[in-house]
Amino acid sequence: MKKKIKILRIISRLAVGGSTYHAIVLTAHQDKEVFDCVLVRGREGETEGSMLEFARQKGLKSICYIPELEREVSLKRDILAFWKLFCLIRREKPDIVDTHQSKAGALGRLAAFLAGTKVTIHTIHGHVFYDFFGKLKSSLIVLVERLLARHSSLLVAVSENVRKEILAFKVGTPEKVITIPYGIELDKYLSIDGHRGDLRRELGLSEEDIVIGNVQRLVPTKGHRYLFRSIQLLKESAPEVRFVIAGDGEMRGELEQLAENLGLKENIYFLGFREDVDNIYADSDALIFPSLTEGAPFAIIEALASARPVVATDVGGISELIDDGKCGFVVPAKDPGALTEALLKLIRDEGLRKSFGENARSKVYPHLSHNRLVKDMEKIYLELVNSNRK
């Protein structure tokens, strides 16, 4: 019997988000006759939510937990997490170490290099190379990523724009950084209208109400402050429009207070983390994503597959997902006026919403299905392992 290819897939934490979904779905659908994969996870923050139950529903049993592996920087815990990863890699002797999210990418690749692993792959779901958290910190992150890239077999960007941005920061080389788009289990979003009305009944909204959905974590890089300024502007022209925000995070309290200060409490519904995101899409007339930085947001792909028009900012790989003026609008980041103008076009024209929705589904399905993702990644794994065995 041919020996299976062993993969250690390391992710910083199973927090609610696209990178976590990506790692779980990829692990769940890999060919079990060819690959033996162990998912290694860290600890989620208090406000991040967890997708551990989703992983278990997908049948993932080989999940290794390292509690010291977490988002926040802590010299003591980071050293301990590194040591545990190093010992795990030495013990398991994987053919491939495949990392996701920044902390796992740094500690996991360093541990793999020192443990003698021949193939290391890091997937870049998005980045903070711009000075969102201060120039010094961002410069340090770029320096570390440049060094780690030299000892990585391959860097995988989730969109072509993200690949270009990575290379612009001189992280990796054109030969070493490739683009492999996300892949999602999209079938359930093709019959989304069967859930129409569930969320509206829950919130006491009628079928005639215009509902704009937002499915994102409540963290600074998602741009909710600009969205709320846009809602304030929109209220002058369309006070009846309601916004439903599905997500949670460190900024929830601040955003709830901002909504109150701006007089928007009646316009915005904070729903927290929701497992029934299909209900959000079903009852949304459009979706909005005001992000400051992104890779290729899963929620946008899900919304498009649900045949819903999307308004989003022109960051990361978003313009690759949305054909501006055909299935939604792509607007500049940090521009509440542009968000408002795009929303008004959709709010005032039901026919435009319908035609955009029809175009939206064909934009992502079946091209961004999980089956394509798994095939793409399996091909990469086999090529790298076979080239290192020669």
Contact 317, 293 (CB under 8 A): no
Q: Which of 39, 377, 89, 110 is nearest to 385 (CA)?
A: 377
Task: Give the mean pLDDT per block of 10 residues along the chain (390 residues).
Answer: 90 93 95 96 92 94 93 93 98 97 95 97 80 71 92 95 92 96 92 92 94 96 96 92 96 97 96 93 97 90 97 94 96 97 96 96 93 96 87
Output the CA torsion 317→19→96→91 (10° steps). Answer: 160
pTM, two decimal places = 0.88
pLDDT at 296: 84
**What pLDDT score does 138 carry?**
76
Domains 5-184+369-389 and 187-364 share a fold: yes
CATH number at 187-364: 3.40.50.2000
E strands, the chain, are 5-11, 35-43, 63-70, 96-100, 119-124, 154-157, 177-179, 211-215, 242-246, 268-272, 286-289, 310-313, 328-331
Output the pLDDT for position 131. 56
Residue 16, Cβ density class (10 Å: 0-12 exposed, 13-18 middle, ≥19 buried): buried
Are 193 and 351 within 8 A, CB to CB?
A: no
The per-residue pLDDT for 252 is 96
**Inter-residue contact 378 to 30 (CB < 8 Å):** yes
Using CA atoms, how far apart are residues 332 and 311, in angstroms rounded to an integer?
Answer: 11
Give the right CATH number for 5-184+369-389 from 3.40.1190.20, 3.40.50.1470, 3.40.50.2000, 3.40.50.11810.
3.40.50.2000
Q: Which two three-digit tokens encode residue 234?
A: 């929109």
Cα separation, 159 vs 390, in Å, equals 31
pLDDT at 132: 57
Its sign, for the CA torsion 316, 317, 321, 326, is positive
What string of DSSP letters covers 217-237?
Answer: --SGGG-HHHHHHHHHHHHHH
Question: Is residue 3 a contact partner of residue 94, using CB atoms and an 8 Å limit?
Answer: no
What Cα–Cα distance (Å) separates residue 333 from each residue in 227, 256, 294, 356? 10, 22, 11, 21
> pLDDT at position 316, please?
87
The total of other beta-carbon atoms located within 10 Å of residue 320's CB is 17
pLDDT for the residue 295:
83
Close Cβ partners of 328 (under 8 Å, ≥ 6 residues apart): 286, 304, 309, 310, 311, 312, 322, 356, 360
Radius of gyration from C-alpha coordinates of the chain: 21
Give me the pLDDT at residue 133, please. Answer: 59
Could you please report the per-residue DSSP string of 30-85?
Answer: S-TTTEEEEEEEEEPPTTS---HHHHHHTT---EEEEEEEESS--HHHHHHHHHHH
* Residue 97 per-residue DSSP state: E
User: Is the distance from CB of 234 to CB of 344 less than 8 angstroms?
Assistant: yes
Q: What is the DSSP letter of 265?
A: T
Can you read off the two tokens belonging to residue 114?
Answer: 């020192």
Beta strands in 77-197, from DSSP E residues, in sequence order? 96-100, 119-124, 154-157, 177-179
**Where in the chain are the domains?**
5-184+369-389, 187-364
